[in-house]
Structure 1
Amino acid sequence: MKQPNQSLEAHIHALLEDPAQQDNPLREPLVSLWANHQDLARRIDRISRISDAYQSMAKQQEQSLTERLNKQLRQLEKVARISDRYQNMMRDLNEALREASTHDALTGLPNRRLLVDRLKKEAERYARYQRPFTIAMLDVDHFKTINDQYGHELGDSALTEIARVLDAEIREQDLCGRWGGEEFLILLPETQADAAAKVMERVRTAIENLTIRAQTDSVNATISIGIAEYQPGESYSETINQADHALLVAKRGGRNQLSTARAPSGA
């Protein structure tokens, strides 16, 4: 008889081993059933091992795929960062090249190229809308003497400081640039010669009161100014020539002063 602590399989095994049960008509079906049970148990165990192995392999493949995907994402992020840095570098380089092509390296003011471009546009605007504009040519008085007496370092400092004052004293709509050497050009849009003269007198006074220092040396400088208002039918180059001529008159008149070109009769 089955004991309380005896498992079912142990009980069946005991029955099959019991000699007293050899003639029991249920023994053969029990043997067959027991054999089928063990075969089924082995199959279930094999299927379980296969399933466990498959799940383990699938998990490893999933982890491997995730790792590869994460690695590719990290590589793409790295490429994106490199691309962003490259684009920023190219943008900064293009900006630097544009700045270098349109601005003077020493003073930082617009150079002749940018000034000419703006002068062309002002002349075209006059042709369409008859809006006046005036050109002022400025030259540092006795600049060669400053260079010869104090050296080119102070000469460069003088040009830099004068450029700073010019840019600060003109109006927001005006454009001041370095025309070449110690010569500057100021474009005054929407301005006739008399109004331009008032602005330029303020500029001349500011330069006269400027003290330029370089190490232990200091020097004062003055400027001469020629003014010319654009006239109908002439080119901007002719207006520049008129301002140049007025500048020569100011220098011949004693320097540190301004002179305005006369408008042609009938203008």
Structure 2
Amino acid sequence: MEDWILGIPTPVAMALIALIGYFLGKRNHRPASAEQAYARRELKRAKAIVKQLEEISREVRRNLASHQSSIAHFKERIVTMSARQEESGESWQTLCEEAERMLSPTMRLSAQIANAYDEVRQQANLLMTFTESRTDPLTGLSNRRALDDSLESLFAMKDRYELTFSLCILDVDHFKKINDEYGHLEGDRVLQEVASLIDNCVRETDVVTRYGGEEFVILMPSTDLKGALIFAQRIREAVEQHLKVTVSGGVAQASSTDEPQTLLARADAALYRAKSQGRNCIYCHNGDSVQEDPSVGQSDASLSHENAELLLEEVRSLEKTLGQRESDKTNAREQHPTEIA
């Protein structure tokens, strides 16, 4: 006699349970893999941050050791002079000069300690991107909230110590067409591929975020406009070579008058120009206006000049050949007028 479970034959019920388990496992497989990849990526970044903090600590310890030696020497000098009861103006003048020489490294050391504190705070803010609330669930990258916090930290460092940094916005070209023609699942897969490629190309200290939709923002500490353009072009070329889509980009370097929103607006203006100029290219905002990547312009100009020179040589060679042929015909007519006729 066949067993029944909730009015369903046992074999059928077991098969249904197995099928449900399969689909649940299939559904949860991708998020788990994405979460593991994100954990590995963040662990790599954490190691880099710890290394930077260790370097800061070693530098402060070296400076403290050197300063302590100077203080000890200065103390010995005071004791010696007091024992000899040297009260001459010249001796005390020398001592005052030595005290002034000690004051300068003291002030530098104080600034270094304050700088080290701010760097520790900045790195601690970066470590906070480990939390789920700062992570984009689709790509595993940092989200808009993490970007805002990182921008605030970088601007604080820039205002206090004049440390430079740049920002790049990348946008997947014709992304709406991908969604319309192939569906949103394919669009999600494209975004994951682009995010993974960008994340594998950046340094550990760079911050990669999904800005919204098909846009990605990369923060590059200690990077000027030229370096940011080189990076953006490298990403653009890698996407074109390895994926079935292309990206356009806008780059800007933080200036003394910038704040987070104005920096993002300048980079976005450069991105808009790249889109309007045919896509799959990089433009930058130099602080005054939007322009194409200067290195690309120089390369194109050089190539055009070289082509013009080659063309000119070919024209001269052709003129010379035609002239020679015409001369040969003239000589032939003079020597054999009857045959030519």
TM-based fold match above 0.5? yes
* Counterpart in the other structure of 2:230: 198
User: What pairs with 1:1-267 in structure 2 (closer than 5 Å)?
Assistant: 99-211=131-243, 220-264=244-288
1: CA distance between counterparts of 2:288 and 2:187?
Answer: 38
1: CA distance between counterparts of 2:154 and 2:187?
Answer: 33
1:263, distance to aligned residue in structure 2 (A): 1.9
Identity rate of aligned residues, in percent?
41
Residue 256 of structure 2: SS of its match in structure 1? coil
* Counterpart in the other structure of 1:26: none
Q: Which runs of 5+ in 1 are unaligned?
A: 1-96, 212-219
- The answer (yes or no) to whether the contact 1:170–1:203 under 8 Å persists in 2 is no
Counterpart residue identity of residue 189, structure 1:
P
* Paired residues, number: 161
Render the CA deviation track for 1:219-262: whole Å, top value 9, x for unaligned: x1110000010010221210000000000011111101100102
1:264, distance to aligned residue in structure 2 (A): 3.3
Please tell me the root mean square deviation across aligned C-alpha atoms, in Å. Answer: 1.5
Residue 171 of structure 2: SS of its match in structure 1? strand
Residue 209 of structure 1: SS of its match in structure 2? helix
Counterpart residue identity of residue 191, structure 1:
T
2: CA distance between counterparts of 1:208 and 1:98?
Answer: 30
1:135, distance to aligned residue in structure 2 (A): 0.7
1:170, distance to aligned residue in structure 2 (A): 1.4
Structure with the larger RCO, 1 or 2 (CA within 8 Å, 6+ apart): 1
2: CA distance between counterparts of 1:149 and 1:264?
Answer: 40
* Counterpart in the other structure of 2:303: none
1:174, distance to aligned residue in structure 2 (A): 1.1
1:156, distance to aligned residue in structure 2 (A): 0.4
1:172, distance to aligned residue in structure 2 (A): 2.1
Q: TM-score, normalised by structure 2?
A: 0.46
Render the CA deviation track for 1:60-116: whole Å, top value 9, x for unaligned: xxxxxxxxxxxxxxxxxxxxxxxxxxxxxxxxxxxxx96321000000000000011
Task: Tell which structure's C-alpha radius of gyration is larger.
Answer: 1
2: CA distance between counterparts of 1:189 and 1:110?
Answer: 16
2: CA distance between counterparts of 1:171 and 1:149?
Answer: 35
Q: Which runs of 5+ in 2 are unaligned?
A: 1-128, 290-341
2: CA distance between counterparts of 1:119 and 1:184?
Answer: 14
Residue 234 of structure 2: SS of its match in structure 1? helix
